[in-house]
Homo-oligomer: A and B are copies of this chain.
Amino acid sequence: MKLADTVAPIRPATAAFDVDALAPHLPTTRRRLRTGQHLYRAGQAFHALYFVHAGFLRTSLVADDGREQVTGFPMRGDLVGCDAIGAGAHIGDAIALDTCEIVELAYPAVLDACRGVPALHGMLAEAMGAELRRDRARLLALATLSAEQRVAWFLRGLARRQRALGYSAHHLCLRMSRVDIGNYLALKHETVTRALSHLDADGVIAVERREVRIPCVERLDAAAGAGAAVASRAA
């Protein structure tokens, strides 16, 4: 239950899921996705939550008129599909940006399993609470930060998540396009490019296509401006 740790790194809650321990209480099925394949689509019946065991995805909300809003980039340790609970159907798409290995947790069967595994109940609630906090931290970032600060904030978030999984925080490989990043941050792709170029020119990062090196994390924190303080607590 390291979830209760307020100052834990990004996405601690979902990363704490021990899917294997569930096996005796809940029939879990595994799925493998290739780059570009959909985990689910908007409108599809909701019948399971998805735990990302490996890979990298992009989730989005799709409006009736076709407008799309990227809602996140789940990676290993994240729980996907919570926003469909109570809606009956998925409200957006989830697409693999990489080869993915997914564990399916049938819903609402997973709720029944909570009785057999008491800790699961709290973990599920905490995973959703963490997701709410992330959404709101993002709202704060979009509402208060400039374009360049948002991009820095985004990169820093990715770096922290990587570090939390045991990888280096000094090198990122962006699996998503500039358009995806822009959509996620409420910016146009040209603006994302410009911000990256400018951060590069300032020596904060080194960008080469989708490879990003971060020599000094503190400088990136500073570039994320006033947002630096929040995300470490709320994300």
Contacts and interface: CB of A to CB of B under 8 A. Distances in A.
B87 A143 contact: no
Interface string A58-96: 000101110101010000000000111111110110000
Interface in A195-235: 226-227, 229-230, 233-234
Interface string A97-128: 00000000000100100110000011011111
Interface string A156-196: 00000000000000000000000000010010000000000
A5 interface: yes
Residue from A5, A89, A186 whose CB has the most chain B CB atoms within 10 Å:
A186
Contacts of A61: 136-137, 139-140, 230, 234
Interface of A: 3-6, 13, 61, 63-65, 67, 69, 71, 82-89, 91-92, 108, 111, 114-115, 121-122, 124-133, 135-140, 142-144, 183, 186, 226-227, 229-230, 233-234
